[in-house]
């Protein structure tokens, strides 16, 4: 797929722990053709790294590997972008609850400012989400340059988490409902960006066939095109 010289396509996708149709998932990701793929609910068992590596290969993407801290977030990149750094970290999670965290990648295109992309997955209880969002915002404040954050926040648009992230970032307009995939009636997956960054939401209808999107996961993917500023 031909893209503008300074455009990076970023997708965020909760893949439901690979419990759905793997072939349909492959076709959806191929249709999106992401430069950066932020994933939630990847296998998080300590011995599951080979499954994630195989998934990246199936998508035609690369995965930096390494420990995920028990969380189910991961990030993959295409060969079109230069991956400059990648790391993962945990977010505050009550004991006996599913671990939550985020994955970060910094990518670059020749002649343009690097982009930092963060993928996250917040908990189901409102109190957990509030603590996790506050912790993430505190860490995001230390990131300089173009920034996008995407993920499954488990909260409808306009909720407290949206306001917390909105204190430092701008919710990308043009998003649609993402859950449940078969009959989406709520937007719980979203993107935020640096306030001055030019970002466009990609039409979900271009992300594979309707039947594949329903069969691939219980969430719909969300996709944005990020127009990077040139180097100064």
Identify whether 121 is part of a domain.
yes
In this predicted structure, what is the pLDDT of residue 110? 95
Identify whether 26 is part of a domain.
yes
pLDDT band (50, 70, 90) for residue 91:
very high
What is the per-residue pLDDT across 173-208, written as a single tens digit (0 to 9) for each? 988 999 999 999 999 999 999 999 999 999 988 999
What is the per-residue pLDDT across 127-177, written as a single tens digit (0 to 9) for each? 999 999 999 999 999 999 999 999 999 999 999 999 999 999 999 998 899
Beta bridge partners of 162: none
In this predicted structure, what is the pLDDT of residue 62? 95
Q: What is the CATH number of the domain that holds 27?
A: 3.60.10.10
In this structure, are residues 78 and 60 in contact, taking their beta carbons and an 8 Å threshold?
yes
Q: How many structural domains comprise the chain?
A: 1
Identify whether 24 is part of a domain.
yes
Identify whether 14 is part of a domain.
yes
In this structure, are residues 172 and 192 in contact, taking their beta carbons and an 8 Å threshold?
yes
In this structure, are residues 29 and 59 in contact, taking their beta carbons and an 8 Å threshold?
yes
Identify whether 2 is part of a domain.
no
Identify whether 29 is part of a domain.
yes
What is the per-residue pLDDT across 13-70, written as a single tens digit (0 to 9) for each? 999 999 999 999 999 999 999 999 999 999 877 666 888 889 999 999 999 875 555 6
Distance CA 232, CA 92 (A): 38
What is the per-residue pLDDT across 10-29, written as a single tens digit (0 to 9) for each? 999 999 999 999 999 999 99
In this predicted structure, what is the pLDDT of residue 95? 87
Overall average pLDDT of the 79-90 stretch? 94
Distance CA 175, CA 197 (A): 17
Distance CA 203, CA 215 (A): 19
Identify whether 232 is part of a domain.
no
Identify whether 178 is part of a domain.
yes
Can you give the residue range of the structural domain that contains 63?
7-227
Token code pair at residue 38: 């932020």
Overall average pLDDT of the 215-229 stretch? 97
In this predicted structure, what is the pLDDT of residue 5? 87
């Amino acid at each position: 797929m031909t893209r503008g010289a300074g455009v990076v396509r970023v997708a965020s996708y909760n893949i439901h722990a690979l419990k759905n149709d793997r072939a349909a998932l492959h076709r959806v990701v191929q249709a999106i053709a992401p430069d950066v793929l932020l994933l939630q609910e990847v296998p998080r068992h300590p011995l599951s790294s080979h499954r994630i590596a195989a998934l990246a290969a199936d998508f035609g993407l690369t995965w930096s590997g390494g420990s995920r801290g028990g969380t189910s977030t991961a990030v993959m990149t295409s060969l079109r972008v230069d991956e400059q750094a990648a790391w993962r970290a945990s977010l505050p999670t009550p004991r006996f609850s599913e671990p939550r965290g985020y994955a970060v990648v910094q990518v670059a295109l020749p002649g343009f400012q690097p982009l930092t992309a963060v993928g996250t997955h917040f908990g189901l209880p409102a109190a957990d989400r509030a603590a996790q969002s506050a912790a993430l915002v505190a860490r995001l404040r230390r990131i300089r340059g173009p920034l996008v954050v995407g993920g499954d926040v488990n909260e409808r648009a306009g909720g407290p988490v949206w306001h917390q992230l909105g204190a430092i970032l701008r919710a990308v307009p043009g998003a649609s409902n993402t859950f449940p995939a078969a009959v989406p009636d709520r937007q719980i997956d979203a993107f935020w960006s640096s306030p001055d960054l030019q970002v466009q939401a990609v039409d979900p209808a271009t992300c594979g066939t309707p039947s594949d999107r329903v069969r691939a996961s219980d969430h719909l993917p969300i996709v944005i095109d990020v127009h990077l500023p040139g180097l100064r």
